[in-house]
Structure 1
Amino acid sequence: MKLNRLIILCFAVLFFYGCRKGENAKEIIPALTPGPGAAEIGLSGDIKNPDGSAAEGVDVTIDGHKITTSASGLFEYTGKVSNADKVKLSISKKGYFKFSKTFTLEENSTIENLSYLLVLEQTVGSFGSASGGTITTTYATLVFQPNSFVNQDGSAYNGNVTVKMPPNIISEYADKLPGDTRALTATNQKVVLDHWGGMNVQVYGNTGQLLKLVKPVNYTYKIDWRYVYINKSNPIKIWSYDEADDIWKEAGDATLNGQYFTGSTTSLSYLQWGTAYPQALLRAYVTDGNSNPASFFRLGCGIDNYAVNSFSGVRINSKGVALIYVPANTQIRTAVASPCYDMLNAFLIPPIAVDKKLEQPLVVNLALYITTFEGKIEDCGFNGVKGRAEFTFNGKKMLSNLDNNGYFKFTFLLCQFNGYNGKLVVYDEQNKIIHQNSNNPIRAGIKNAYLASLCTVPQAGKVTINVNGKTYTFETPKDSLSMSETFEPWNGSPTTMISAHSADRTQGFLLTYLGFKGGKVDLYTCGFSIPSNNYTMTWGLYERGTTQITKYKTSDTLIEGTFKTKTNLNFSVGAPGEVVEISGSFNISR
């Protein structure tokens, strides 16, 4: 808890005192709507169970188009929507609260890597509808009046009432509360909300049907500790989410006392407390100042010290554009954060007039996040193959043509230093799969390199090692030999590897050097093992040895050369062992 508070405090300090003014803002233009109604868009992401595991079989509906999550919890939609200004995504699964989110998009833009956690419908109590009842949880008390319930069609209900609520206080409000920040007042004025948490309650009848309230329920609700210091005068407005109209609507007043809201309402399903402001639209173009958009990062907005978490943040789309409705006629503080919630930069945005839109470029530092996965596919003659590569990573599929030398390249933003495995599939020009690998660990902010050979011709040759006056030999077909090319996992450096094993696996040899080349090269690693003895080249204890590559990928030879280095005999920490020189030669061909 102390760590979480420290992180939030640091974020607040950066957000409100580390801001810089946005530059080159365009003229405020009259049209508030971000573009034409119908548009081609894309939304994709994943749904997780409350324990963080993938949620399979969840219904995801996007602008009326229903899809179901895969075994990995993934969903993806690309197609037309009726209104790009309000694209509704709804998530539903039996036993969990339904959730809807509204996105403001533009033609031919996508938002990816969305992630939502299902919220369990937990039974917290029951009572007879005629008598009413009191429900108490760790964070709320609800007092229902007698004869308060009707069916969805408005007919009177008489029977048992079951009340369901989330197991815990709803937190991370930007992702847990439905819709976006737009709302309607009691007089139908269009506004945006500065909000401080929410409550979700569902009431069910005898047959599991959803009921509605016709008499107010009195409640006391404990809000998240981050909102205890809200500097607002009572009463504070209540807002309920109208699922049919996809918007928050004014639903009464509440009183805040310390960490508790008290009030009464007939709208329990998705309730929040907040202050309304006239609305304007901010269209921020977020890049690193070059050609790299901050795609799928977050843009959050606030207006004063308590608003750090108040205005729901939005995802930046594939073009680097963030569209967010904000309070009009006031200076806006914005912050850009990665999907891992580490903040990049904060900015001050000038006031925008009511019902107007402001175009605002924002430049952020993406150097730590720009990640590439690139490599080459070659045949037995070391020539690049033609075709295309398909890389699926973090639920998103990317495509790249292989150039004339067999090279492919994928570039994307990633904020996890210890990333995920990606799946690479390579197709030839006839669309036939010629290579695939599902174990490609990706690390953020570096070049992740890859090399694969389609050659299936067995390797053959001979390796000799000289140590302590003895010569040891590995030779095919009796023993196993190989020359391979890979990339050092920590810095992506190309690495050539020579390995040999005896048939009974009691003797082994491994040599690596950095680079795909011939000539004289420093050794990167070198080791030789026989029963009872291991010879290891140890960094830092002496100068590393070298290898002289006399042939490298010629018409008849994969690699040929010699090596010499010092090693430690039976090295262990604290007892490095005797320093012994080993040398030898190798010749490997196909």
Structure 2
Amino acid sequence: MKSTKIFSLFLLILCLGFTSCKKDDSISDGNQQILIPDSFSEYFGNEISRDFLGTVIDKNNLPIEGVTITIGNETALTDGNGVFIIRDADVNQRFGYVKAEKAGYIHGSRSIVPSEGTNKVNIMLLEANVIATINSGNSETISLTNGSSVSFDGNFIKEDGSAYSGSVDVIMHHLDPADDNMTQQMPGMLYAQNTDGAERMLQTLGMLAVELRGNSGEELNLAEGSTSEIRMPVDASLMSIAPATIPLWYFDEVNGYWKEEGQATLQGNMYVGTVSHFSFWNCDIPAEAISLCITVIDEEGNELSDMNVKITSATFGTTNGNTNEKGEVCGYVPSNESLSVNIYLNNNCNNTSLYTENIGPFSTDSNITIVIPNNSEIIQETVIGTFNTCDGDPVSDGYVKLAYSGKNNIGYVTDGEFEVNLIRCADNTTFSIKGIDYNNLQFSPEINYTFTSPITNIGVISACNSIEEFIQFTINGSDDYIAIDDILCVFYINWDGRHTLYIRDNETNGNACIEITVTLDQDSYLGTYNYGNINNPGFIPLGECIGSNGDSSNSPMTLNLTSFGEVGEYIDINFSGSLIRIESDGDGSIEDSIVGVAHVLRDE
């Protein structure tokens, strides 16, 4: 069943800070006078600085590299994963505008209410495919297969206002509210300025994007005094709420919000209107709104992150957002409307609602808490670790990409430390992580791990993209050791039938050396192994590395074998536990914590 997209991008924010401004004008809403500011930007609040981490993808959900991202006066390019980082960008308390541009795609953007910490943004760019080429001086109508169309009278201008003569490439996309990808494809957010200058939230019934290019690739528009008729189909699921006339809104690409201009009439299942210029055009029902913040917790009061919260209005449809690390999601909802809220797992495990409640109506900005009954399907995971450069220094500007159950979770790195929160499935306990050093353009290998619920400390990963294999471990959370050259990794069957994996760092590389011996389950090599003696399996930190004489036979360890390749392919292991070792002088023992990972090529 198609889902109906709605009145607003549900914004993931920690608060909606708003500083009141002097308002001289007003409009009447029944018996209530609504004050509006002299300038629309007064709605946005004070200027602040915020950090942004985002992903730009295409319609096939593939990352796009080399996209120019602009936030205020700051710019960045997306990397090979389609990811960008901009720190300390100048935005406003209630409004931030992110622009995304690359040759071959139409202009993309996202507008948000900035939150504390890192603001995560996802943008899906649409290809600038030319659907028709027309000529100046000729009247023509261009149509899409779904019936969307645009008429032209043949008069065009360049960006500087001068007349254009020649061929014109027409690029056009219709965005359907019944398409789940629409909220990523549309520009800005469904936030607008009406003809009175007041802010509104919008319920879209369809959008049409039109870009015109000259024969040298220059951007064109309609000449002054020229108009075009646009036609947009209304999805069958929305026909019951489609009014006979509806306001038209265009997207202001300079300022990042929609502006009301003209109206369209419903002819059959088509909205038909007249416009005098092009960007995105939008058929929307406007509404007054309040901000609503919802905090989701369990019965013990634990904040539940990565939960998908859907809010439905009988009048304005459904919108959704995901809770942040504080269990909170905020956004705009219609005022004085009864609402229903449904909460889902934000993963691929289960798409049925875990909880339903009726809330509202709300006449003012509100905050509520929803308690979810304990449920075995809600398995919260927190993955933490340290991300260093190849020289061993903390990465100052980077991110980690945690891949789990077909979904990528991006975690920002601050001073070398990272934390990723997610909900996992009961029957899937493995994930992979890749770290990207954004400043030095280096990355770590993608390594497989097993969750150690509820917190998984993966230790230290390093951005050394030239390194093919390594063993890395941390003692007591501070002393780091890494072996990167000449690592032996062999698999063999003992005389007594035991299947054994043996890994050893043959070169100490200054301060790191370790041996790993694993007796494997013959039915399934992958899995978790717990042990307390050297034979099932064993780790032997060598004496010259950390002051041990080699005896660690009583060390309780947990080892997770997450990837077992053929000869020439990778074997991935992560391990943790207590390292009990005899002091170098042979007098007494020392118990240390150890966390490590091995990403090695199998030799035999």
Whether these two folds match at TM > 0.5 is: yes
Give the Å deviation of 1:161.
1.9
Task: Quote the Cα distance in structure 2 between the aligned partners of 1:464 and 1:264.
Answer: 78
Q: Is the 8 A contact 1:190 1:279 kept in 2?
A: no
Say whether 1:117 aligns with 2:124: yes
- Counterpart in the other structure of 1:495: 530
Secondary structure of 2:93's counterpart equals coil
Secondary structure of 2:336's counterpart equals coil
- Counterpart in the other structure of 2:381: 371
- Counterpart in the other structure of 1:198: 207
Say whether 1:134 aligns with 2:176: no
- Counterpart in the other structure of 1:103: 112
- Counterpart in the other structure of 1:232: 242
Secondary structure of 1:139's counterpart equals coil
- Counterpart in the other structure of 1:165: 172
Read off the aligned partner of 1:39 and give its amino acid letter.
I
Say whether 1:248 aligns with 2:241: no
| Structure 1 range deviating more: 183-192 or 249-258 | 249-258
Say whether 1:74 aligns with 2:66: no
- Counterpart in the other structure of 2:190: 181
Distance 1:48 1:369, change over 3 A: farther
Q: Is the 8 A contact 1:120 1:167 kept in 2?
A: no
What CA deviation, in whole Å up to 9, does each residue of 1:170-224 have, x standing for no partner? 8322222222222222232322111123211111223322222343322333345
Identity across the alignment (%): 18
Task: Quote the Cα distance in structure 2 between the aligned partners of 1:397 and 1:487.
Answer: 36
Q: What TM-score do the two structures reach when normalised by structure 2?
A: 0.61
- Counterpart in the other structure of 2:218: 209
Q: Is the 8 A contact 2:125 2:185 kept in 1?
A: no
Counterpart among 396, 421, 433 of residue 411 in structure 2? 396
Say whether 1:278 aligns with 2:288: yes
Task: Quote the Cα distance in structure 2 between the aligned partners of 1:289 and 1:267.
Answer: 54
- Counterpart in the other structure of 2:358: 348
Read off the aligned partner of 1:359 and give its amino acid letter.
N
Task: Quote the Cα distance in structure 1 between the aligned partners of 2:361 and 2:105.
Answer: 41
Distance 1:83 1:299, change over 3 A: farther
Distance 1:196 1:554, change over 3 A: farther
- Counterpart in the other structure of 1:22: none
Q: Is the 8 A contact 1:238 1:250 kept in 2?
A: yes
Q: What TM-score do the two structures reach when normalised by structure 1?
A: 0.62
Distance 1:203 1:101, change over 3 A: same
Task: Quote the Cα distance in structure 1 between the aligned partners of 2:46 and 2:519.
Answer: 50
- Counterpart in the other structure of 1:422: 433
- Counterpart in the other structure of 2:279: 269
- Counterpart in the other structure of 2:567: none
- Counterpart in the other structure of 2:55: 46
Task: Quote the Cα distance in structure 2 between the aligned partners of 1:64 and 1:159.
Answer: 35
Task: Quote the Cα distance in structure 2 between the aligned partners of 1:336 and 1:487.
Answer: 41
Read off the aligned partner of 1:361 and give its amino acid letter.
T
Give the Å deviation of 1:409.
9.5
What CA deviation, in whole Å up to 9, does each residue of 1:551-578 have, x standing for no partner? 9866799xxxxxxxxxxxxxxxxxxxxx
What CA deviation, in whole Å up to 9, does each residue of 1:484-535 have, x standing for no partner? 4799999985534999xxxxxxxxxx9669xx985999xx99xxxxxxxxxx
Distance 1:237 1:302, change over 3 A: farther
Distance 1:246 1:79, change over 3 A: same
Counterpart among 86, 96, 99 of residue 87 in structure 1? 96
Give the Å deviation of 1:57.
0.8
Give the Å deviation of 1:285.
3.4
What CA deviation, in whole Å up to 9, does each residue of 1:93-130 have, x standing for no partner? 11101112111124x33333x33222101101122221
Task: Quote the Cα distance in structure 2 between the aligned partners of 1:455 and 1:70.
Answer: 27
What CA deviation, in whole Å up to 9, does each residue of 1:397-444 have, x standing for no partner? 44699xxxxxx995622457576521479xxxxxxxxxx864134669
Read off the aligned partner of 1:323 and give its amino acid letter.
C
Read off the aligned partner of 2:200 and give its amino acid letter.
V
- Counterpart in the other structure of 1:537: none
Q: Is the 8 A contact 1:297 1:339 kept in 2?
A: yes
Q: Is the 8 A contact 2:205 2:238 kept in 1?
A: no
Task: Quote the Cα distance in structure 2 between the aligned partners of 1:145 and 1:458.
Answer: 68
Read off the aligned partner of 1:360 and give its amino acid letter.
I
Give the Å deviation of 1:464.
11
Q: Is the 8 A contact 1:43 1:76 kept in 2?
A: yes
What CA deviation, in whole Å up to 9, does each residue of 1:207-253 have, x standing for no partner? 3222223433223333455x344423312222221222322122333
Read off the aligned partner of 2:411 and give its amino acid letter.
K
Task: Quote the Cα distance in structure 1 between the aligned partners of 2:96 and 2:261.
Answer: 24
Task: Quote the Cα distance in structure 1 between the aligned partners of 2:218 and 2:19.
Answer: 46
Task: Quote the Cα distance in structure 2 between the aligned partners of 1:152 and 1:375.
Answer: 50
Read off the aligned partner of 1:396 and give its amino acid letter.
G
Give the Å deviation of 1:359.
2.3
Read off the aligned partner of 1:85 and give its amino acid letter.
R
Read off the aligned partner of 1:200 and give its amino acid letter.
A
Distance 1:223 1:127, change over 3 A: same
| Structure 1 range deviating more: 115-124 or 143-152 | 143-152
What CA deviation, in whole Å up to 9, does each residue of 1:43-89 have, x standing for no partner? 21211234333211111112331111112211122214241210111
Read off the aligned partner of 1:439 and give its amino acid letter.
I
Give the Å deviation of 1:143.
4.2
Read off the aligned partner of 2:365 and give its amino acid letter.
K
1:15-30 equivalences under 5 Å are none
Q: Is the 8 A contact 1:229 1:306 kept in 2?
A: no
Say whether 1:302 aligns with 2:309: no
Say whether 1:362 aligns with 2:397: no
Give the unaligned 5+ runs of structure 2.
Answer: 7-14, 22-41, 387-391, 403-409, 437-443, 460-471, 474-480, 505-513, 539-551, 562-578, 587-604
Secondary structure of 1:41's counterpart equals strand
Read off the aligned partner of 2:111 and give its amino acid letter.
T
Secondary structure of 1:174's counterpart equals helix
Give the Å deviation of 1:139.
2.1
Secondary structure of 1:211's counterpart equals strand
Read off the aligned partner of 2:217 and give its amino acid letter.
G
- Counterpart in the other structure of 1:150: 157
Task: Quote the Cα distance in structure 2 between the aligned partners of 1:371 and 1:487.
Answer: 27
Distance 1:101 1:196, change over 3 A: same
Distance 1:351 1:519, change over 3 A: closer
Distance 1:42 1:363, change over 3 A: farther
Higher Cα Rg: structure 1 or 2?
A: 1
Aligned pairs, how many? 456
Q: Is the 8 A contact 1:87 1:105 kept in 2?
A: yes
Q: Is the 8 A contact 2:532 2:555 kept in 1?
A: no
Distance 1:497 1:352, change over 3 A: same
Task: Quote the Cα distance in structure 1 between the aligned partners of 2:326 and 2:170.
Answer: 44
Distance 1:439 1:140, change over 3 A: same
Read off the aligned partner of 1:221 and give its amino acid letter.
M
Distance 1:347 1:77, change over 3 A: farther
Q: Is the 8 A contact 2:171 2:210 kept in 1?
A: yes
Q: Is the 8 A contact 2:72 2:90 kept in 1?
A: yes
Read off the aligned partner of 1:180 and give its amino acid letter.
M
Distance 1:145 1:360, change over 3 A: same
